[in-house]
Amino acid sequence: MTSFSKSLDMDVRQGLDLRSIDTVTPEEINAHLVDSWSFRQPLYNLYANSLMLDYAPDFAKLHRWGSDFFGRTPENTLLLAVQNLHSYMMLGWETGILNTFHTLRRNGLTKGQIMELVMFCQLYAGMRGLGHVYRAVGDMLAVFAAPEVAPTFPEGWAVEPGAFKCGLDLSTRALTESDRANLIGWYERTIGQVPRSIAFGIKHHPEFVKVNRAKWEATIKTLPKQVAPYVMLRHHTITGSRDGLREAALLAKAWGMTSEWIVLGITGTAMYFTGFEGLYAAADAVDDLL
């Protein structure tokens, strides 16, 4: 695999001298806090960093060191925010949702693209998740500014809404024999197997499988298709679902995501949400795929 250390030199990062972990100067602290406020987004980034710098400055420097793996480049910053929106909807952290809307726009996503991501995340967060989004940003959406830059996605990531479609007949609620064959065929062609979740749903509540799959197919239209498995990697790393992680990784590979990006989706989740414990399920589920 490509080394994650490439170009990550030990230098001054956002005001902090990473060449000296065990010491910190008032000038370093002030420079880092000024940088934390530079984008004029919600203040939590400022006061969270101040807690680390005031009471555990070595930890703060190590946190900055680790964060470099998931930031520093436009595509890293954008995709961490993509995953974070999902997590904040799940957690109901409205300050984080607001901050992430700003980060996504600042890194090139339009309002429409962000709302595509919101609807994909609704498949997991439900109406509660949408309620948190509305309380966080609903009042400002009507005047939400267009981005000033184009988004930077990894090489090979492409918009392809048709890739989600399996050929469901939406003129009827019933899962027809054609629907069943098309759905099973999509999974067999795309990831090489039919997930047990789908097989169970077809057996016991096929009408639900049809409409929920149709919702899944309708979410991502102008974002790269790879956004879907990238969010799925975040969700299943947090929940510890081995089957879910494997399905996400298989879909990611089928759609051209590199092993490095699959690993970043998992380890970024461990960095910010689960610690090392989040890697247990990944070790079982995807190690042989990388």
pLDDT value of residue 6: 53
Query: Torsion angle of alpha carbons 44, 45, 46, 49, nearest 10°?
Result: 120
Asked if residue 6 belongs to a domain, the reply is no
DSSP secondary structure code for residue 114 in this structure = H
Res 96: pLDDT: 97
For the chain, how many structural domains are there in total? 3
**Of 70, 91, 118, which residue sits at a domain end?**
70
Residue 289: what pLDDT?
A: 97
Query: What is the model's pLDDT at position 42?
Result: 85
Going from the C-alpha of 171 to that of each of 99, 138, 276, the distances in angstroms are: 40, 33, 47
d(CA 141, CA 36): 25
Sites in the chain below the pLDDT cut of 50:
1-2
Same domain for 270 and 135? yes
| Rg for the chain, CA atoms, rounded | 20
Residue range(s) defining the domain that contains residue 197: 162-219
Domain stops at, among 198, 219, 240: 219
Query: Is 1 a member of any domain?
Result: no
Residue 149 included in any domain: no
Same domain, 284 and 259: yes
Strand 12-13, strand 16-17: pairing: antiparallel
pTM value? 0.93
Alpha-carbon gap, residue 267 to 249, rounded angstroms: 13
pLDDT of residue 1: 41
Asked if residue 206 and residue 81 are part of one domain, the reply reads no
Distance of alpha carbon 86 from its chain centroid, rounded? Answer: 6
Q: Alpha-carbon distance 83 to 18, whole Å?
A: 27
Which pLDDT does position 8 carry in this prediction? 63
The pLDDT value recorded for residue 7 is 54
Please indicate, yes or no, if residue 198 is contained in any of the structural domains: yes
Residue 235 shares a structural domain with residue 285: yes
Percent of the chain scoring above 70 in pLDDT = 97
Measured between alpha carbons, how far is 280 from 242 in angstroms, rounded to an integer?
9
Asked whether residue 78 falls in the same domain as residue 38, the answer is: no
CA distances from 59 to 22, 34, 235 (A): 9, 19, 27
pLDDT tens-digit readout, 147-177: 999 999 999 999 999 999 999 999 999 999 9
Based on the domain organization, do 175 and 202 belong to the same domain?
yes
Give residue-wise pLDDT tens across range 20-71.
Answer: 999 999 999 889 889 888 888 888 888 899 999 999 999 999 999 999 999 8
Q: End of a domain among 195, 219, 243?
A: 219
